[in-house]
A and B are shown apart, each in its own frame.
Chain A
């Protein structure tokens, strides 16, 4: 097993183990912190795939942003004084059945499919290439992304802001 494989399995293990804690933990704060390691593991996998810009984005946005938002969300909602959060599992049997079937199908597909792969050598620094594509071939999605962000901003402000009495 070469170094690459070792690093891959290490990151994969971190991601999966942290993901399992997120799902199975009864304590919502533990789950949120475990998510940190899951995101971190995914960033590591991106590095292994030579997607350096994606890895940085993963760290900046997911670890630095989304996770903070999730933690705020936890602290906003979990009122330990009078609200009991329901974290029990119901309908275990049908859920296990469906999940097993789904997982079986997906793993089967990933195993047997002849995926489209490229023979191009990996790009050393992806950011300039991404910048070039984003502002030429993918110009429209790039601009529409700003509209989506603006809508998210307006929507979030409308939902979250406390109304001043008129």
Chain B
């Protein structure tokens, strides 16, 4: 059973190694002659004036919450989709009700303007 996951494991290993090797290789091969100008933060040629660590707008949070809720909805759809034929009409109707209830949520956030950025 475990051997089914071998490709996934190889993939993860390959991904991690590739990332580390590329960064380290760059560090090792590239020439480094730092000057004061080079070490300042790049700000389109301007002098950096403030800290970059500013507070994010609460709007990002709203987007993230919406993403999670609809993410969960999609996760619920997956087992239904793979057993769709066996479940027949019951499955179809139940899933329709499930999606309809969440559609009201989409309608709500839309009308409330939570999907608009400003």
Contacts and interface: CB of A to CB of B under 8 A. Distances in A.
Nearest to A79: B55
Contact of B67 (A53, A68, A80, A157): A68
Given A149-B72, A157-B112, A131 B64 contact: no
Nearest to B60: A72
Contact of B71 (A56, A64, A162): A64
Size category of the binding interface on chain A:
35 or more
B106 to A, nearest CB: 8
A69 to B, nearest CB: 5
B76 A142 contact: yes
Contacts of A157: 62, 108-109, 112, 114
Nearest to B55: A79
Main secondary structure of the interface of B (DSSP, over half): helix
Interface of A: 3-4, 7, 47-48, 50, 53, 56-57, 60-61, 64-66, 68-69, 72-73, 75-81, 122, 125, 127-132, 134-136, 139, 142-143, 145-147, 149-150, 152-154, 156-157, 160-162, 164
Given A75-B60, A157-B109, 15 more contacts: A4-B2, A7-B2, A57-B75, A61-B72, A69-B61, A69-B64, A72-B60, A127-B83, A135-B83, A142-B76, A149-B72, A149-B102, A156-B69, A162-B58, A164-B113
